[in-house]
Copies of this chain bind each other. A is one copy, B any other.
């Protein structure tokens, strides 16, 4: 089976109903975040969508399976055989700082084409945005100290582990422990040693020495297998032996206990022993709040290894992404805006543009969501990125995206990135869009029921 089958069954049943009833309808869908679990989001995954959509094709095997379901008619299956996405996509530049209700991606295409890609587009933007957003929070909390992705063992699968490594690097991490991610995305790979390594030797110093022999310039000793205080002393003992051979111990890692206290204690012992360049790495269930506290307390920590909480965004493991019909054109009757009316789940109709205003210092002031052709002050964030099913510009690499995001994060108001602050960034709905929403609501109430 091919990945084209990565869709909810209803995309295909709806497609068959469209195929029978209005095969030429042209639709526009908006992809956006519904509700704010986070004060800001780092929208990512758009390029993943484009690559998937450009290559989207059902295989013979896929079609055989669909036929066996005995749900679909032969002419519709013949249509799927030749299926290709030929529509137009607009989106913000990835990665982008984004807020709920703001359009992230807009898909305009034949309604069947626009519908069939729904599930996978949501899945990809959800994964990438969830992990990039969490990583940005964690990395900002470290205030310039190094953060490494150590999450492979606790991510929701290998695909998610690659996304965790990639998007945390884009968000500013210094590297990852994930070798496959390192090789695929050209991200620096880093690592220390496990407790099991230390335990496999009779004595702690024996294990440290063996490691130093194997990696003279790259050794970071894990000191908390048995007793942190004594572990630090074992590390110093071996560092002194290394020094006699002209080698410097790169670092130690503390993975448990009171990291603030232990890091201070370790720093003082290391300094006393003349090991002023030996770094202190800490790990162990870290998140943005714990890191912020350690940094605020001036703990002499050089690097944070962050696993589980960053790699699966454990406090908020998904983003409320939606893909909603905002406009439809049937039989060339003209483009008609649409929206849902369900009380809690209202969405903004019509093709839209996102406008962002900046202060003189380059800091973001406010956003406006307006109609696509409305004249509103501010930078237009939505650009065309796919036309007739073809990607318009080459994907930027991970390093370029990292630089772009660094610039955008710098432009964020500091109140927004502060963990304690409940600042809500101003996102306005333009007057014309508000008016349209209001009048459409009334129109729909009259029109849609018999």
Instruction: Assess the A256–B344 pair: CB atoms within 8 A.
Output: yes
Q: CB-defined interface of A90-123 with B at 8 Å, one 1/0 digit per residue? A: 0000000000000000000001000100111011
Tell me if B318 and A183 are in contact (CB < 8 A).
no
Contact flags (1/0) for A1-35 with B, using CB distance below 8 Å?
10101111111111011101110010101000000
Q: Tell me the chain A residues, 47-75 only, with Cβ under 8 Å from chain B.
A: 62, 65-66, 69, 71
CB <8 Å contact, B225 and A20:
no
Indicate whether A361 reaches chain B with its CB closer than 8 angstroms: no
Asked if A190 and B9 make an inter-chain contact with CB atoms under 8 angstroms apart, the answer reads yes
Whether B343 and A256, one on each chain, are in contact in the complex, defined by CB atoms closer than 8 angstroms, is: yes
Flag whether A263 is at the interface (Cβ < 8 A): no
Question: Quick one: which of B69, B126, B160, B227 contacts A159, CB cutoff 8 A?
Answer: B160
| B8–A199 touching, CB < 8 Å | no
Assess whether A367 is interfacial by the CB under 8 Å rule.
Answer: no
Chain B contacts of A157 at CB under 8 A?
Answer: 123, 127, 156-157, 159-160, 163
Of A334-342, A387-395, A421-429, the segment with at least 4 beta carbons within 8 Å of chain B is A334-342
Shortest C-beta distance, A39 to chain B (Å), equals 19
Q: Are A156 and B177 in contact (CB under 8 A)?
A: no
**Bound CA span A234–B341, Å:** 16
Per the bound structure, the CA–CA distance linking A130 and B10 in Å amounts to: 27
Give the contact stretch, choosing among A136-144, A321-329, A374-382, A399-407.
A321-329
What residues of B have a CB within 8 angstroms of the CB of A71 in the complex? 215, 218
The answer, yes or no, to whether A197 is at the interface (CB within 8 Å) is yes
Which residues from B are CB-within-8-Å of A111?
200
Q: Which residues of B contact A10 (CB under 8 A)?
A: 177, 191-194, 197
Chain B residues closer than 8 Å to A5, beta-carbon distance: 179-180, 183
A204 to B203, CA, bound (A): 75
Query: Which residue of chain B has the shortest Cβ distance to A155 in the bound complex?
Result: B123
Given known pairs A16-B214, A312-B156, A312-B317, the reply for A325 and B9 (CB within 8 Å) is: no
Instruction: Say yes or no: B214 contacts A12, CB within 8 Å.
Output: no
Q: Shortest CB–CB separation between residue A188 and chain B, in angstroms?
A: 10
Chain A positions 337-384 with a Cβ under 8 Å from a chain B Cβ: 338-345
The interface residues of chain B lying within 8 Å CB-to-CB of A29 are 196
* CB contact between A448 and one of B16, B21, B226, B448 (< 8 Å): that residue: B226
Inside 8 A of A84's CB, which chain B residues have their CB?
none
- Interchain CB contact (< 8 A) of A199 among B119, B195, B338: B338
Contact between chains at A119 and B153 (CB < 8 Å): yes
Interface locus among A205-213, A272-280, A293-301, A411-419:
A205-213
Query: Other CB < 8 Å A-B pairs besides A159-B160, A256-B345, 12 of them?
Result: A1-B183, A7-B178, A9-B190, A17-B213, A18-B200, A123-B161, A157-B160, A195-B340, A225-B340, A237-B450, A308-B318, A314-B318
* Chain A interface residues toward B at CB < 8 A: 1, 3, 5-14, 16-18, 20-22, 25, 27, 29, 62, 65-66, 69, 71, 111, 115, 118-120, 122-123, 126-127, 130-131, 150, 152-161, 163, 177-180, 182-184, 189-197, 199-200, 202-205, 210-211, 213-215, 218, 224-228, 230, 234, 237, 255-257, 308, 312-314, 317-318, 321, 323-325, 328, 330, 338-345, 444-445, 447-450
